[in-house]
Amino acid sequence: MTAPDEHAIREAFRTQAAFCVASGSPLTGEVCAALAERMDRKTRTGAAILDWAGDPMADALMMRITGGLNALARSGGDPALSALYHSRSGDFPGQISRVLAEWDDWLLPWLDGPPQTNEVARAGALWPGIMAVAARFGPNVELLELGASAGLNLNLDRFGYVLGGVAAGDPASGVQLRPDWHGKPPVFAPVAVTSRAGVDQNPLDVSKPEVVERLMAFVWPDQDARVARISAAIALAQANPSPITKADAADWLEDRLARPQSKGVTRIVYHSIVLQYVTPEGRARIGAAMQRAGASATEERPLAWLSYEFASVAPAAELRLTLWPDGENRLLGQAHPHGAVIDWAG
């Protein structure tokens, strides 16, 4: 196996720092920059990061450790770190270096799995895609989400939206999404969700306070609107829990697509910034399962695949929609991975 490239890993942290600053989170940018500068192999956490064998960007390595640091700051367990995060200014390199040494055992497990942000603002790109499906086949839809995490975006019909001047969803919802919209406005169509379900390798149960804290840890702490938005979405999910199965996404999808589909209901499979965490074999199985199901779709029992994913590791993600029975695939637009900016092609 090729030895890890420590320089490349530090550069990945610097790249992430610049992206965070450009995305409105200078605090998380400062943390990433401090990590790039001060990490060493004197701690198990530092060694695990610097010896990372995978792709740090694709594995979201930077967000794993920043999530752990944010969780520690939120907990109040390290008052100096909490004060640094609260003031959003100070000696980031010095404090991060100290915390890595003093909280090594506590931080190390945060590297074990990818972050589960369950970013609610992504619904601002997903919902116009779902309205496009409803405009084509009618309002009744069945929602199946891959990588559902805590299931927050299984409630996307219960959010309110202003999309390029088009109002949609629930105007009284505690979750209101108004992304920076570029391009023509989306088509408006009424949507009625007849059923919903999701899958995740590690579903998050938001009825448990410790799970809520883990979910909040991955939200960049100085993005106040994001923090408020996910808090409102968690409350909505607690009041309206969706069924989420702990399973492999490909296994679950093959099973769900084999189940009978109601007449007059469009089955919509969707996911957002998930496929980078799925193995190549798993991605191939998901694609094959969709193609098989699409071959059996009819106008009375149509199928849609709404994908909000990176075409490559890049700042913007593509929103793509495939519709069966005709198999039409089109690029709906590009969007910031957090859903803040949407460039709509329609």
Same domain, 172 and 26: no
Please compute, for residue 119, the number of CA atoms within 13 A of its CA located in the half-sphere on the CB side.
Answer: 21
Helix segments in 206-279, DSSP class H: 209-217, 224-239, 249-258
Count of CB atoms within 10 A of residue 8's CB?
Answer: 12
185 lies in some domain = yes
Please give the pLDDT value at position 118.
83
286 lies in some domain = yes
Please give the pLDDT value at position 4.
60
Same domain, 328 and 303: yes
Closest-CA residue to 308 (of 182, 150, 129, 181): 129
Please give the pLDDT value at position 314.
62
Residue pair 140/156 in contact (Cβ under 8 Å)? The answer is: no
Convert 48-108 into a string of H (helix), E (strand) and C (coil): HHHCCCCCCCCCCHHHHHHHHHHHHHHHCCCHHHHHHHHHCCCCHHHHHHHHHHHCHHHHH
Same domain, 74 and 146: no
Question: Over the stretch 42-101, which tens digit does the pLDDT of each residue have?
Answer: 999 999 999 999 999 989 999 999 999 999 999 999 999 999 999 999 999 999 999 999
Low-confidence ranges of the chain (pLDDT < 70): 1-4, 312-314
Count of CB atoms within 10 A of residue 249's CB?
Answer: 27
Q: From residue 39, how far is each of 46, 74, 82, 124 by CA, in Å?
A: 5, 22, 20, 37
For the chain, count helices (H), then strands (E): 12, 12
DSSP classification of residue 195: E
Question: Over the stretch 163-180, which tens digit does the pLDDT of each residue have?
Answer: 999 999 999 999 999 999
Same domain, 234 and 148: yes
Same domain, 137 and 32: no
Predicted TM-score (pTM) of this structure: 0.85
Give φ, ψ of 268 to 5 degrees: -115, 120
Domain containing 251 equals: 120-344
Domain count, the chain: 2
Report the SS3 class of residue 238.
helix
Could you tell me which residues are beta bridge partners of residue 76?
A: none
199 lies in some domain = yes
DSSP classification of residue 301: S
Same domain, 340 and 291: yes
CATH number at 207 reads 3.40.50
Instruction: Among 81, 111, 141, give the residue marking a domain's end.
Output: 111
Instruction: Among 111, 132, 159, give the residue marking a domain's end.
Output: 111
Same domain, 80 and 215: no
Could you tell me which residues are beta bridge partners of residue 271?
A: 307
1 lies in some domain = no
Same domain, 128 and 106: no
Same domain, 226 and 297: yes
For residue 307 the two structure tokens come to 């994908």
Q: Calculate what percentage of the chain has a pLDDT beyond 70.
A: 98
Please give the pLDDT value at position 1.
39
Residue with tokens 């969709």: 290
Same domain, 101 and 143: no
Please give the pLDDT value at position 108.
98
Q: What is the mean pLDDT of the chain?
A: 95
